[in-house]
Amino acid sequence: MKLLMILTSHDQLGDTGAKTGFWLDEFAAPYYVFKDAGIIPVLASPKGGQPPLDPKSDDPAFHTSATARFKTDADSAQRLANTVPLSSVKAADFDAVFFPGGHGPLWDLTENRASISLVESMVAANKPVAAVCHGPAALVNAKGPDGRPLFAGRKVTGFSNSEEAAVGLTTIVPLLIEDTVTKLGGTYVKGPDWGSFVSVDGLLITGQNPGSSEATAKALLQKFGATTG
């Protein structure tokens, strides 16, 4: 299995002056699910190089076994520091794509044409697309083969309105995942706030929040196995 993970290159939390980026455990937990299955993902970002880390995600309160493992894994840290430019990757070279979250994707991956085109090509080729927390923001402008929004007629999860309110960013972010899924004709589904919850609708796999990262990655591997026999 050839897997692509796409991370954000955006580091500004609106006009607050605060930093954002990708959420560490939303990268690390899936990364090690894949690595332990014998898959070393190709890492990409819009700008290439080191993607910005949301500094809050490195707070001890949010450390997990996966983030602790990453901090002692020099090889994986080197891979992360050298993501390839998103414009250089082709959907045909991969069997599946995974989008970690963090608030950064709300700003750059929503509008990135290379990302949107890649997602649309993956979907058209019946390849799995997975995203967790704010990662589904990368899919909001993608269309299915029928020309409709990718979310239309599908069950989708992602960071909920109540979770966004709990972190105090409802009026800062450019879009709310829950509202956008509904606006685009999808059915937003969720579990309890901060608990692990994954939605699998055909080849679209989405996870609700940081606590769903590992389960979303495992669901992707299961789907890939099911689609390849």
Q: How confident is the model over 165-222, as pLDDT tens digits?
A: 999 999 999 999 999 999 999 999 999 999 999 999 999 999 999 999 999 999 999 9
Tell me whether residue 78 is exposed, middle or buried, using C-beta atoms within 10 angstroms of its C-beta: 0 to 12, 13 to 18, 19 or more.
exposed
Domain ranges, ordered by start, for the chain: 3-228
Question: Is 159 a residue whose pLDDT tops 70?
Answer: yes
Please answer whether residues 227 and 126 qualify as being in contact, where contact means their C-beta atoms are separated by less than 8 angstroms: yes
pLDDT value, residue 55: 97
Q: Quick one: which H or E segment has residue 201?
A: strand 198-201
Q: What is the pLDDT of residue 226?
A: 44
Length of the chain: 229
pLDDT bracket for residue 25 (50, 70, 90) = very high
> Is 228 a residue whose pLDDT tops 70?
no
What percent of the chain has a predicted confidence (pLDDT) above 70? 98
CB under 8 Å to 100, separation ≥6 — which residues?
Answer: 5, 7, 22, 23, 26, 27, 30, 132, 133, 135, 213
What is d(CA 21, CA 72) in angstroms, rounded to the nearest whole number?
A: 21
Structure confidence by residue, pLDDT tens digits, 37-67: 999 999 999 999 999 999 999 999 999 999 9
> pLDDT tens digits for 64-86?
999 999 999 999 999 999 999 99
Tokens 């090509």 belong to residue: 121
pLDDT of residue 224: 73
Given phi > 0 = left and psi -120 to 50 = alpha, else beta, which region is 37? alpha
Angle between helices 24-36 and 213-228 (to 10 degrees): 40
* Global confidence as pTM: 0.97
**CATH topology (fold) of 3-228:** Rossmann fold (3.40.50)
Distance CA 15, CA 112 (A): 20
